[in-house]
């Protein structure tokens, strides 16, 4: 029997792939969690029927959410990752030698558990002594933090279920308080083809809170539409003003010094969302 998985990205469009076998299938207290082995993209993590990451293309998302802000900040020492239970974002953060500590707050411990088991290359840094893992609510952690972090990365699922509160103006305002006076935050903000209103709200809310607000993009084949966006809010540092000689080689597969700047060059229809 041939098994195929389809993510219904809208009510009338989806992406499908051939599945060799199902590795995990569990209803956690927070969401439906599935881990499958796919023929095209290797092991893949699904939450509530949505693709979160896969072995083949994960490097794009994780490099871009981490390195753009971390090279924008001149000396990031304490970084917070909200979500990101697969571990890929903290793996990339730890490539920066200035980082002394990464605190990760993931609401669903099962995501971490199964990622360690089935996505070992992605979750490879959980035993690193610079990592503090907290299984808890990222929204609550932000509200209780003040002037604490140099960089905050919101590595969330789409705005449904436990992640819904991570796309609100109140959450961005809480992030601003949790950041130090020269802090930076980046949040994944979905795609402009299907979630234009989400992006428009995110960048406009960020502009009202942070002196510098910018949107940048990358290409991720297993995510809806393939085009993905990140919203950055910065109190001091502009990612487009970072001297290129300050961006070192992190031996990545996607991010480069040149791409750092190029990722902020937006198609006109995406530019319009930022106006």
Active site residues: 155
Q: What are phi and psi of 158, to 5 degrees?
A: -65, 160
Q: Give dist(CA 178, CA 82) in Å, integer.
A: 12
Q: At what angle do helices 169-178 and 196-209 cross, to 10 degrees?
A: 40
Sheet holding 42-47: strands in order across? 3-10, 13-27, 32-38, 42-47, 50-54
Nearest to 131 by CA among 170, 169, 87: 87
Give the pairing of strands 50-54 and 42-47. antiparallel
- With contact defined as beta carbons under 8 Å apart, do 18 and 3 qualify? yes
Phi and psi at 142, nearest 5°, equal -60, -45
The token pair that represents 168 in the structure block = 């609100």
The candidate with the shortest Cα–Cα distance to 92, out of 123, 127, 117, is 123
- Which residue(s) pair with 54 in the sheet? 44
Measured distance CA(102)–CA(165) in Å, rounded:
22
């Amino acid at each position: 029997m041939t098994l195929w998985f389809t993510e219904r990205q809208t009510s009338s469009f989806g992406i499908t792939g051939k599945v060799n076998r199902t590795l995990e299938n569990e209803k956690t207290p927070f969401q439906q969690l599935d881990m499958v082995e796919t023929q095209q993209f290797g092991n893949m993590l699904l939450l509530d029927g949505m693709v979160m990451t896969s072995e083949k293309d994960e490097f794009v998302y994780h490099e871009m959410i981490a390195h753009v802000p971390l090279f924008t900040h001149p000396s990031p020492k304490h970084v917070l990752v909200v979500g990101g239970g697969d571990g890929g974002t903290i793996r990339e953060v730890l490539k920066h030698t200035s980082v002394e500590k990464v605190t990760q707050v993931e609401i669903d411990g099962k995501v971490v558990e199964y990622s360690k088991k089935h996505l070992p290359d992605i979750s490879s840094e959980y035993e690193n002594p610079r990592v503090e893992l907290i299984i808890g609510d990222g929204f609550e952690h932000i509200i209780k933090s003040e002037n604490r972090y140099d960089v905050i990365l919101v590595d969330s699922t789409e705005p449904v279920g436990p992640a819904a509160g991570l796309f609100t103006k109140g959450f961005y305002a809480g992030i601003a308080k949790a950041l130090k006076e020269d802090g930076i935050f980046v949040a994944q903000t979905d795609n402009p083809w299907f979630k234009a209103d989400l992006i428009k709200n995110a960048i406009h809310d960020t502009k009202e809170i942070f002196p510098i607000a910018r949107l940048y993009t990358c290409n991720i084949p297993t995510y809806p539409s393939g085009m993905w966006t990140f919203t950055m809010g910065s109190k001091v540092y502009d990612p487009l003003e970072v001297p290129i000689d300050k961006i070192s080689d992190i031996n990545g597969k996607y991010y480069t010094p040149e791409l750092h700047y190029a990722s902020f060059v937006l198609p006109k229809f995406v530019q319009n969302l930022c106006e």
